[in-house]
Amino acid sequence: MLLRPGLEFGGDYNPEQWDATTWPHDVRLMRETGVTMVTVGVFSWSWLEPAPGSFDFAWLDQVMDLCADTDIGVDLATATASPPPWLTHEYPEVLPVDKLGHRLWPGSRQAYCPSSTAFQTRAATLVDRLATRYGSHPALRLWHVGNEYANHVTSCWCAVCAEAFRRWLADRYVTVADLNQAWGTAFWSQRYSSFDEIHPPRLTPSFGNPAQALDFRRFSCAQHLACFTNERDILRRITPEVPVTTNFMSFSDVVDCWRWADEVDVVSNDHYLKAADADNHVELAFNADLTRGLSRRRPWLLMEHSTSAVNWQPRNVAKRPGEMLRNSLQHVARGADGVLFFQWRQSQAGAERFHSAIVPHAGTDSRVWREATDLGSVLARLAPVAGSRVDSEVALIFDYESAWALEGEAMPTVDVSYRDRAIAFHAALWREGITVDMVPPGADLSSYRLVLVPTLHLVRDRDAAAIEAYVRAGGHVVITYFSGIVDEHTHVRLNGYPGAFRDLLGVRSEEFCPLRQDEHVSLVGPDGQRVGSADVWTEDLTCDTSTSIMTYLDGPVAGRPAVTRNDYGAGRAWYLATRTDEDTTFALLQQICAEAGVAPATSTPAGVEVVRRTGPKGAFHFVLNHTDEAVVVQIGGLDLVSGAAGDSHHVEAGGVAVISAPDQDSP
Ligand code: GAL
Task: Give the nearest ligand 1 atom to 310 CA.
Answer: 12
State how far Cα 420 lies from the chain centre.
14
Which residue, by CA, sits nearest to atom 3 of ligand 1? 342
To the nearest whole number, what is the mean pLDDT of the chain?
Answer: 97
Annotated active-site residue in 8, 49, 231, 304: 304
Residue 289 backbone dihedrals phi, psi, to 5 degrees: -65, -40
Enumerate the β-bridge partners of residue 191. Answer: none
pLDDT of residue 604: 87
Annotated active-site residue in 8, 148, 371, 393: 148
Helix and strand numbers (H, E) in the chain are 17, 29
- Work out the pLDDT band at 662, boundaries 50, 70, 90: confident
Report, in angstroms and rounded to the nearest whole number, the Rg of the chain calculated over CA atoms. Answer: 26
CA distance 448 to 393: 5
Which residue, by CA, sits nearest to atom 11 of ligand 1? 342
Whether 401 sits among the annotated catalytic residues: the reply is no
| Mean pLDDT of all residues in 261-265 | 98
- Work out the pLDDT band at 4, boundaries 50, 70, 90: confident
Whether 304 sits among the annotated catalytic residues: the reply is yes
pLDDT of residue 663: 75
pLDDT of residue 667: 46
Q: Determine the distance separating the centroid of ligand 1 and the alpha carbon of 294, expressed in angstroms.
A: 21
Summarised one tens digit per residue, pLDDT across range 148-199 is 999 999 999 999 999 999 999 999 999 999 999 999 999 999 999 999 999 9
- Work out the pLDDT band at 437, boundaries 50, 70, 90: very high
Share of the chain above pLDDT 70, in %: 99
Q: In terms of Cα–Cα distance, which of 25, 56, 60 is closest to 42?
A: 60
DSSP 274: -
Summarised one tens digit per residue, pLDDT across range 553-594 is 999 999 999 999 999 999 999 999 999 999 999 999 999 999
| Mean pLDDT of all residues in 469-490 | 98
CA distance 125 to 114: 16
Q: Determine the distance separating the centroid of ligand 1 and the alpha carbon of 286, expressed in angstroms.
A: 20
- Work out the pLDDT band at 664, boundaries 50, 70, 90: low
| Mean pLDDT of all residues in 452-475 | 98
> 206 Cβ partners below 8 Å, 6+ apart?
none
Summarised one tens digit per residue, pLDDT across range 494-533 is 999 999 999 999 999 999 999 999 999 999 999 999 999 9
* Residue to probe by mutation, ligand 1, list 246, 352, 353, most atoms within 8 Å of CB: 352
pLDDT of residue 666: 53
- Work out the pLDDT band at 251, boundaries 50, 70, 90: confident
Give residues (CB < 6 A) around ligand 1. Answer: 147-148, 151, 270, 272, 304, 310, 342, 352, 355
Summarised one tens digit per residue, pLDDT across range 83-135 is 999 999 999 999 999 999 999 999 999 999 999 999 999 999 999 999 999 99
pLDDT of residue 565: 98
